[in-house]
């Protein structure tokens, strides 16, 4: 069974740029987006972060609106290779957003 993950992006379908991430990726529905660098482990760079639950995606959307005045969208996401995982989110090498 494939797990469902969630990706939060800006309304123009770009990365949020949290934690000073300089790599802003552009997403398109039903198209794979690969990280330009891949680093396994708990570093902020070298992968694409997605959250594990819809609830956490909603919290991230509220945070972006309140703290940064940025409106965001949530999509279900298919993921590639898992590079790191904790209880809240996972870092992967590639993502495809849908729905």
From first to last of its 99 residues, what are the pLDDT tens digits of the chain? 458 899 999 999 999 988 777 788 999 999 999 998 888 888 777 889 999 999 999 999 999 999 999 999 999 999 999 999 998 899 999 999 998
For 41, other C-beta atoms within 10 Å of its C-beta total 9
Determine the structural domain holding residue 24 and report its residue range: 5-98
DSSP 1: -
Q: How many domains, in total, are found in the chain?
A: 1
- Claim: this prediction has a pTM higher than 0.85: yes
């Amino acid at each position: 069974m494939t797990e469902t993950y969630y990706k939060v992006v800006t309304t123009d379908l770009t990365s949020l740029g949290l934690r000073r991430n300089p790599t802003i990726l552009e997403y398109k529905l039903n198209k794979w987006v690969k990280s330009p660098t891949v680093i396994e482990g708990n570093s902020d760079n070298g992968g694409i972060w997605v959250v594990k639950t819809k609830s956490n995606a909603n919290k991230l959307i509220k945070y972006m609106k309140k703290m940064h005045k940025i409106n965001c969208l949530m999509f279900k996401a298919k993921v590639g290779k898992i590079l790191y995982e904790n209880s809240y989110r996972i870092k992967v090498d590639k993502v495809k957003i849908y729905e």
